[in-house]
């Protein structure tokens, strides 16, 4: 796959290649890169331009280790069948196998991500934070960093709050591990537009979308 160097990555190339990356090298994330990620996050739209987001970037090794333990605990509950018997993963359809293996690897190695970025806001405000979260994902892609939106930490909310001294009126809605990816960047595979979009009336097909290739216009932005 022919991807441009990070500083030349175009918007659409980033959109078509910013897939979930869950495996990281040991290379630290620089202050410059972290600042660029957060300075991109705050460019997101916000209801009434209230900008209710707060970010907590955790680099401290002991804290990341503890977050990793809590994340792993959730996976042992949520992904119990795969932790108890990894051969269960082999029984899944191919695409699902890749997702579950990478989710399992992340759960085992969460602490190794050099930055654990919490996106926080008031209770019930998660939706307002998602544009900022998507900007984080795209900024990481633009910088050649890997990340994935995660929510498993919410299962151990009290422990996370205590560890990071998060006040009671603030919720750590999302947690993005960020680092230099050891997996291939992109492409993002999805069900095609014509399967999820209607024209004028619910359920009515859109002929133009039906006439497009099932992988969409990926090849316009990423050459393989």
Ligand X SMILES: Cc1cc2nc3c(=O)[nH]c(=O)nc-3n(C[C@H](O)[C@H](O)[C@H](O)COP(=O)(O)O)c2cc1C
**How far is the C-alpha of 58 from the C-alpha of 41, rounded, in Å?**
16
103 touching ligand X, by CB under 6 A: yes
Number of residues that bind ligand X (CB under 6 A): 13
Single residue of 14, 70, 148, 178 touching ligand X by CB under 6 A: 148
**How far is the C-alpha of 10 from the C-alpha of 177, rounded, in Å?**
23
Copy the structure tokens of residue 142: 């633009």
**How far is the C-alpha of 113 from the C-alpha of 54, rounded, in Å?**
20
- Residue partners of 76: CB distance under 8 A and separation at least 6: 83
In degrees, rounded to 5, the angle at the alpha carbon of residue 103 between the alpha carbons of residues 25 and 223 is 65
Single residue of 11, 42, 151, 199 touching ligand X by CB under 6 A: 151
Cβ 201 to ligand X shortest distance, Å: 28
Q: Considering only residues 163 through 202, tell me which ones interact with ligand X, judged by CB under 6 A.
A: 188-189
Q: Give the x/- contact pattern for ligand X in 57-76, rule: CB under 6 A.
A: --------------------
Cβ 21 to ligand X shortest distance, Å: 8
Q: For residues 99 and 170, which CB has a smaller minimum distance to ligand X in the complex?
A: 99
19 touching ligand X, by CB under 6 A: yes
Where b means 16+ CB within 10 Å and e means fewer, 167-199 reads eeebbbbbbbbbbbbeeebbbeeeeeebeeeee
Q: For residues 122 and 206, which CB has a smaller minimum distance to ligand X in the complex?
A: 122
Contact 16, 218 (CB under 8 A): yes
99 touching ligand X, by CB under 6 A: yes
Cβ 55 to ligand X shortest distance, Å: 17
Span from 15-23, 56-64, 109-117, 215-223 in contact with ligand X (CB under 6 A): 15-23
Span from 16-24, 46-54, 61-69, 201-209 in contact with ligand X (CB under 6 A): 16-24
Bridge partners of 81?
none
CB atoms within 10 A of CB 164: 17
152 touching ligand X, by CB under 6 A: yes
Residue of 117, 99, 115, 127 whose CA lies nearest to 153: 117
CB atoms within 10 A of CB 67: 25
106 touching ligand X, by CB under 6 A: yes
**How far is the C-alpha of 222 from the C-alpha of 224, rounded, in Å?**
6
Span from 18-26, 60-68, 138-146, 194-202 in contact with ligand X (CB under 6 A): 18-26
User: Which residues of this protein are in contact with ligand X, per CB under 6 A?
Assistant: 19-20, 22, 99, 103, 106, 148-152, 188-189
């Amino acid at each position: 796959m022919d991807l441009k160097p990070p500083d030349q990555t175009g918007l659409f190339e980033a959109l078509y290649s910013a897939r979930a990356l869950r495996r990281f090298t040991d290379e630290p994330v620089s202050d410059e890169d972290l600042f660029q990620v957060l300075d991109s996050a705050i460019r997101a739209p916000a209801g009434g331009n209230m900008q209710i987001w707060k970010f907590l970037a955790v680099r401290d090794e002991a804290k990341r280790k503890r977050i990793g333990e809590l994340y792993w605990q959730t996976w042992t509950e949520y992904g119990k069948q795969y932790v108890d018997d990894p051969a269960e993963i082999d029984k899944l359809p191919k695409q699902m196998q890749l997702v579950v293996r990478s989710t399992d690897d992340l759960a085992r190695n969460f602490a190794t991500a050099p930055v654990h970025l919490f996106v926080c806001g008031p209770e019930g405000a998660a939706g307002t934070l998602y544009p900022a979260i998507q900007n984080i994902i795209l900024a990481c892609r633009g910088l050649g960093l890997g990340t994935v939106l995660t929510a498993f930490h919410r299962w151990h909310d009290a422990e996370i709050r205590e560890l990071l001294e998060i006040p009671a009126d603030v919720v750590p809605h999302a947690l993005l591990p960020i680092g230099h990816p050891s997996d291939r960047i992109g492409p993002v595979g999805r069900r095609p537009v014509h399967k999820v979009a209607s024209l004028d009336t619910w359920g009515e097909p859109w002929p133009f979308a039906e006439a497009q290739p099932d992988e969409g216009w990926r090849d316009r932005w990423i050459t393989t």
